Structure 1
Amino acid sequence: MEHFIVSARKYRPKNFEDVVGQQAITNTLENAIKNNHLAQALLFTGPRGVGKTSCARILAKKINQHNVEISGDEDFAFNIFELDAASNNSVDDIRSLTDQVRIPPQTGKYKVYIIDEVHMLSQAAFNAFLKTLEEPPAHTIFILATTEKHKIIPTILSRCQIFDFKRIGVLDAKNYLKIICGKENITADDDALHIIAQKADGAMRDALSIFDRVVSFSGKNLTREAVTENLNVLDYDTYFNMTGLLLENKIPDVLNAFNTILGKGFEGHHFINGLASHFRDLLVAKDKATLALLEVGDTAKKKYLEQATKASIPFLMQSISKANDCDLNYRSSKNQRLLVELTLMQIASITFDGEKKKSANYIIPATFFQALSPAAKEISKPIQKKPEAVQSQKLEEPKPKVKTPVLKSAEKRSSSLSLKSIHQKKQEKKLVVEENFDNHPKTIFTEKLLQQFWKEYVDLLNKKGERSMASIVGTDVPRLKQHFKISFTVPNKLMQDQFKKGRPKLLNFLREKLNNYGIKIDAILNETVEKKFAYTPLEKFNKLKEKNPLLEKLRQSFELDM
């Protein structure tokens, strides 16, 4: 069995041209060697896996061998010494190093000392190293490498030429992985490589380690699904689906989707962070000027641009704010799942315009979804007869087959009379289109028959659960006037408005039952009736005072307040 070499070692850069994402540093070092401007003490600093040690080794070879091809087994040839400061961090180790430095190289021009993880040296070792580092022999060059520059004492920093290595970009890492796939005869989806590059978080060594792991899992064909499954990460589709449900105000579906995510073993904290990042990416995708900040694959970018058109900027800004608050409060919360669910419900209620929102943390009431549930729809399903009773529907979706004339209404559905409906934020614009009934039957009927069907309609409303509308329709007995006009009295303006919203259904019912399409209903506001319905304490007192004037004298004598 052939010995397996991990990709991080197998594809370690041998030349400056092979180093990924550090163009400025490699160009500087090449020019310094070419022009003989190389400092005698260099400090390479930056995150893990970005090429510090690799650049140090390449530099050490380039110094001594100009224009000579280096073979793979000559890593430490030509007076190159690599030390690990973590295990050689004492004063004695530095003293031994100082003694070695005095000996000139046997071949080549320079002796190069690469000291990795130099921040691990002790304080005394740093101080012992100062003089040698400041004035080394002419044949010696020190290359120090560290991930934690802040732990190195300032006197060492001032004696070194510092090179700050940056994190490797997602696109650079993805392109390098593509090159490796070509060399290894592996087919990989663009999104799959992008997820690996993102998971590496700017470290090329981590990206290659993840790549080896995924190849062991998937074989020679890397797909996005296989990568997300193996790395146990939430892919883009999860967030796209969740955002779609949030935009459609589907709170029950949102909670079920979140439960599915938890069932796969993901933490709520990880999910809410990812959702906040998804909202950020959607916000970035809304403007061409910021589109470059969207670091995703080409397939995912199309999805982001598509969903960005559906989400408004105020929605995204509020969603990011709520998700960020959830992130900050997650660790201190006693019930972390509930915190995330509340946040999702609040986000799903941002675009809901059904009722006036009294606070920024408004959540759509559960009764709204009960009305939309399959059970409720089954109960409220009307009995279909020849002339169909058309329920309130959008004008964009007209029913193609209408045999009997109907009243078309574009007004939004209002389920019942309630305090919330009194304080609606926006007045709905009403658009009623009445068809021409001149050529339709107008059978004569009596007032008694009218009242019989009127009562039948009230019973029908009660069976459907529309009790508020039933109480309004049952407030008064209808009266038949001339030309089939029906007069109906209501006690206040609010009930009059609610009755007008439910009037189209009532008209369709009566026209069908009485076979008369000339019927019209007028809702008349009767102030006298209104007085019978509710008295304030002051009105009660004034009414009693009219019958007995001595009551006012009694109130004044005892100085009573109303």
Structure 2
Amino acid sequence: MSSESPDTFALGLDEPPQPAAAQPYRVLARKYRPQSFAELIGQDAMVKTLGNAIRRDRLAHAFLLTGVRGVGKTSTARLIAKALNCIGPDGAGGPTIDPCGVCEPCRAIAEGRHIDVVEMDAASHTGVDDVREIIEAVRYAAVSARYKVYIVDEVHMLSKNAFNALLKTLEEPPAHVKFLFATTEVNKVPVTVLSRCQRFDLKRISAEQLAAHFGEVAEKEGVAIEPEALTLIARAAEGSARDGLSILDQAIAHGAGGVTADQVRAMLGLSDRGAIRALLALLLAGDAPGALKAVRDQYELGVEPAALLRGLLESVHGITRAKVGGADDPALSVEEREAYADWAAAIGYAALHRLWQLLLKGLAEVHNATLPLETAEMALLRVIHATDLPDPGTLARQMAGEGGIPPAAATPASHGAPAAPPPPVSAAPGRPASFAALVDALDQGGKPLLAQQLHDFVGLVRYAPPLLDLKPLKPFAADFARDLAAALKAMTGESWQVALTEDGAAEPSLRDQELAEKQRLKQKVLDTPVVRAALDAFPDAELVDYSLNEQRSA
């Protein structure tokens, strides 16, 4: 009888358990690649078109999918291949916009091993010989699938000769062949190829859709993530699902199980949005030392100067949207919306547009600078000191001698505080004293076409700001009066009533008045004794572009 214990004997009968082989980690961008059209986010119009085409048996022989990186071009091509070749769980199905995903063709295409679905990277197969292989192969029927499908990624990389070699086959392929082309640079694809394909432009995916999608992915991965962190990742993705999933993957590793907004900012080198608002407040208040210190503090936290300027640009854009009454950005916090609303009520359009242009110029300089931090500081100092300058409309009124707002008084208005009213010369501050001065102010204020129309083709009936009655001397567009009133409001800050009168007396146009004055001066020169004697001595002589002023200066 054996001395071994029953337990030892039992263990000896069975092989010891082997440790399970570790599965290699798959990045989120691959793990959550869409496996059906229902999982393809942000491309509803394309899915609807394809679904209708499949149901009505109106399938094109070639499709061109274009869009920025990571929006789903290659994934869509694979889904179309599955939709065309799906046979259903029972093996009796036909083409469908909802492939089952369980039949052999669906599984083989998803795993990249289907013999009749050929993927080719045009970036590494650019020549005629590579295309010739396709041309030779299309003559043969599919081995096991309903359609033989060729997916050519980055098709714009094919050479000119390769495109030319493909044209005939692309125009009249066999009935069992479908071509699916994907490209990020559709402008490099020859028109001869575009005309032979049904084109789908895949849109950038909105930040809201991306944030929702990333939230679902994080939940499936068992990772707790703050909503603000999802918003930051979605914004950083710039419409690309793949880029966003890669950032999310990195954020999960960075956060060691949980992801917070502060961790994402630190990882991406983004500035805290509260710090951005504080810096903008310092700029608007003209606090140069405080602004420079805030920039240095953010830089020491790892925030790149370019990211700081981009944040300021986003804030200025948000303030402008709030001022014009645009829809609220769902990604903004309550504090941001309230701050933008307060600034929008205090800052004029001219100051906002000038602030945008100065920051945009500063961002371009930072991108090209060898000293980014110092360049950013100089750009922000330029923003602070440029607020002392009057806007073009005010400058035009000052040059016209009409007592517009002086530069010193323009500074508080640029910072959000109301400016002290200057001594009025015209009917009210900011109103041009005459119709001619108003036309000049429009011309200097960036409305040269409108100023020319008023100068050449209207007669003045009444000028009583903010009332303006005009008589058109030629037909105008129906919205001329509305556009003029809007321009005058932007220039003077008050609402104007503009009326166009077809009948009644009106002054000659400013152009006719200038021509009449020029003729009067010319006649005055002709009537001088010296000129009259010269013309009598030389009857064929004539006076050409000469004035009394020129005579005195000579």
* Residue of 385, 391, 414 corresponding to 1:346: 385
Q: Is the 8 A contact 2:323 2:341 kept in 1?
A: no
Give 1:243 deviation, angstroms.
Answer: 2.1
Give 1:342 deviation, angstroms.
Answer: 1.7
> Kindly, what percent of the aligned residue pairs are identical?
34
**Partner of residue 84, structure 2:** 63
Q: Indicate yes or no: 2:33 matched with 1:12.
A: yes
**Partner of residue 320, structure 2:** 283
Cα distance in 2 for residues equivalent to 1:143 and 1:275 = 42
Q: Indicate yes or no: 2:127 matched with 1:90.
A: yes
After superposition, where does 1:112-127 map in structure 2 within 5 Å? Answer: 112-127=149-164
**Partner of residue 320, structure 1:** 356
Amino acid at match of 1:339: M
**Partner of residue 160, structure 1:** 197
Tell me the alpha carbon deviations over residues 60-90 of structure 1, each in whole angstroms, 9 at most, x when there is no partner: 0111115442148522336211111122221
Cα distance in 1 for residues equivalent to 2:136 and 2:364 = 54
Cα distance in 1 for residues equivalent to 2:47 and 2:187 = 23
Amino acid at match of 2:407: K
After superposition, where does 1:469-484 map in structure 2 within 5 Å? Answer: none
Give 1:301 deviation, angstroms.
Answer: 4.8
* Residue of 353, 357, 371 corresponding to 2:407: 357
Q: Which runs of 5+ in 2 are unaligned?
A: 1-21, 90-99, 391-404, 415-419, 424-554
After superposition, where does 1:134-149 map in structure 2 within 5 Å? Answer: 134-149=171-186
Q: Is the 8 A contact 2:362 2:376 kept in 1?
A: no
Q: Is the 8 A contact 2:323 2:345 kept in 1?
A: no
Q: Is the 8 A contact 1:236 1:300 kept in 2?
A: no
SS of the residue corresponding to residue 115 of structure 1 reads strand
SS of the residue corresponding to residue 291 of structure 1 reads coil
Q: Is the 8 A contact 2:126 2:159 kept in 1?
A: yes
Q: Is the 8 A contact 2:295 2:377 kept in 1?
A: no
SS of the residue corresponding to residue 106 of structure 1 reads coil
Cα distance in 2 for residues equivalent to 1:300 and 1:54 = 39
TM-score (norm 1): 0.59
* Residue 276 to residue 85, structure 1, CA distance change in 2 (3 Å): same
After superposition, where does 1:235-274 map in structure 2 within 5 Å? Answer: 235-274=272-311
TM-score (norm 2): 0.60
SS of the residue corresponding to residue 327 of structure 2 reads helix
The farther-off stretch of 106-115 and 193-202 is 106-115
Tell me the alpha carbon deviations over residues 181-212 of structure 1, each in whole angstroms, 9 at most, x when there is no partner: 22112222221111101111111100000000
**Partner of residue 47, structure 2:** 26
Give 1:235 deviation, angstroms.
Answer: 2.9
Amino acid at match of 2:128: V
After superposition, where does 1:136-535 map in structure 2 within 5 Å? Answer: 136-288=173-325, 290-292=326-328, 294=329, 296-299=331-334, 301-305=336-340, 307-308=342-343, 311-314=346-349, 315-327=351-363, 330=366, 331=368, 336-346=375-385, 357-358=407-408
* Residue of 24, 27, 31 corresponding to 1:3: 24
Q: Is the 8 A contact 1:170 1:295 kept in 2?
A: no
Cα distance in 2 for residues equivalent to 1:363 and 1:286 = 15
* Residue 251 to residue 338, structure 1, CA distance change in 2 (3 Å): closer
Amino acid at match of 1:98: I
* Residue 333 to residue 111, structure 1, CA distance change in 2 (3 Å): closer
Give 1:282 deviation, angstroms.
Answer: 1.6
Cα distance in 2 for residues equivalent to 1:150 and 1:208 = 28
Give 1:287 deviation, angstroms.
Answer: 4.3
Q: Is the 8 A contact 2:226 2:260 kept in 1?
A: yes
Give 1:147 deviation, angstroms.
Answer: 0.7
* Residue 350 to residue 258, structure 1, CA distance change in 2 (3 Å): farther
* Residue 310 to residue 186, structure 1, CA distance change in 2 (3 Å): farther
The farther-off stretch of 341-350 and 16-25 is 341-350
Amino acid at match of 2:228: D
Give 1:326 deviation, angstroms.
Answer: 3.0
Q: Tell which structure's C-alpha radius of gyration is larger.
A: 1
Q: Which runs of 5+ in 1 are unaligned?
A: 365-423, 428-562
Amino acid at match of 1:357: P
Cα distance in 1 for residues equivalent to 2:218 and 2:76 = 23
- For the aligned residue pairs, the C-alpha RMSD in angstroms reads 3.0
Give 1:107 deviation, angstroms.
Answer: 2.3
* Residue 142 to residue 333, structure 1, CA distance change in 2 (3 Å): closer
Q: Indicate yes or no: 2:57 matched with 1:36.
A: yes
Give 1:297 deviation, angstroms.
Answer: 3.9
Cα distance in 1 for residues equivalent to 2:333 and 2:360 = 28
Give 1:328 deviation, angstroms.
Answer: 5.0
* Residue 317 to residue 85, structure 1, CA distance change in 2 (3 Å): closer
Cα distance in 2 for residues equivalent to 1:208 and 1:138 = 38
Q: Is the 8 A contact 1:268 1:340 kept in 2?
A: no
Amino acid at match of 1:93: D
The farther-off stretch of 191-200 and 298-307 is 298-307
Cα distance in 2 for residues equivalent to 1:300 and 1:128 = 60
**Partner of residue 108, structure 1:** 145
Give 1:359 deviation, angstroms.
Answer: 9.5
Tell me the alpha carbon deviations over residues 82-107 of structure 1, each in whole angstroms, 9 at most, x when there is no partner: 11112222111111111111111132
* Residue 329 to residue 107, structure 1, CA distance change in 2 (3 Å): closer
